[in-house]
A and B are shown apart, each in its own frame.
Chain A
Amino acid sequence: DAKTTQPPSMDCAEGRAANLPCNHSTISGNEYVYWYRQIHSQGPQYIIHGLKNNETNEMASLIITEDRKSSTLILPHATLRDTAVYYCIDVAGGADGLTFGKGTHLIIQP
């Protein structure tokens, strides 16, 4: 079963920042925080990951709290194409598979 907790759905206006929360109440010291998204009828797509520090790439920013019990994925300027299901996953180093939950369905409104 998935170890993370996410809201089932969120709305965000186009052009605004989308902030997606995730709770990692049972994360262990060697587990990374990974974020994927899945656009309708496609496979999941890797977005970003981190261990302790905040991370940024061309797609998004990842904020991890100091106690690592929660994280926030930030899409700085959401577009309609960002409408998707977003998954946060705790992944141990050397893990042999990803355990997905139900994710957050993010809907970008025009």
Chain B
Amino acid sequence: DTGVSQNPRHKITKRGQNVTFRCDPISEHNRLYWYRQTLGQGPEFLTYFQNEAQLEKSRLLSDRFSAERPKGSFSTLEIQRTEQGDSAMYLCASSQRGTGGGYTFGSGTRLTVV
């Protein structure tokens, strides 16, 4: 297992377009998290899954954002009608329930909305 994989690494899109990112967690991890990070700030929590169930969503996750984790394996994060303020690094992390705060992060997808 090579860790948490995110695709694509970079995405440039025009304002108003839809984008989708993918995260493949470590296979034995049942928890998966999405974070967003803007320049000069620490990562901000967006949402998390335990297996296929989405258990918590931050108020940062507006109606234009949707995340799925079908079958409890990989996850996708979709942003509809992108805005310039959506430009950020989107990070995925996974962990095994019961291991506390020891998460493994991917390298992120950098989104630029022009």
Chain A residues engaging chain B, CB cutoff 8 angstroms: 2, 32, 34, 41-46, 49, 85, 87, 89, 91, 93-103
Contacts and interface: CB of A to CB of B under 8 A. Distances in A.
B93 A2 contact: no
Interface string B23-66: 00000000001000000111111001000000110000000000
Interface of B: 4, 33, 40-45, 48, 55-56, 91-93, 98, 100-108
A97 B56 contact: yes
Contacts of A100: 42-44
A96 B42 contact: no
Say what secondary structure dominates the interface of chain A. loop
A32 B100 contact: yes
B107 A41 contact: yes
A103 B43 CA distance: 10
A41 B91 CA distance: 11
B41 A91 contact: no
A5 to B, nearest CB: 13
A34 B100 CA distance: 10
Contacts of A87: 42
A42 B43 contact: no
A94 B93 CA distance: 16
Contacts of A44: 43, 91, 93, 103, 105
Contact of B104 (A42, A46, A93, A97): A46
Contacts of B98: 94
Contacts of A95: 100-101
A44 B106 CA distance: 8
Given A96-B55, A102-B40, A43 B48 contact: no
A70 B100 CA distance: 20
A43 B43 CA distance: 9
16 contacts: A2-B42, A32-B100, A43-B4, A43-B91, A43-B93, A43-B106, A44-B43, A44-B103, A44-B105, A49-B101, A85-B42, A91-B100, A91-B101, A95-B100, A95-B101, A100-B44
A87 B41 CA distance: 11
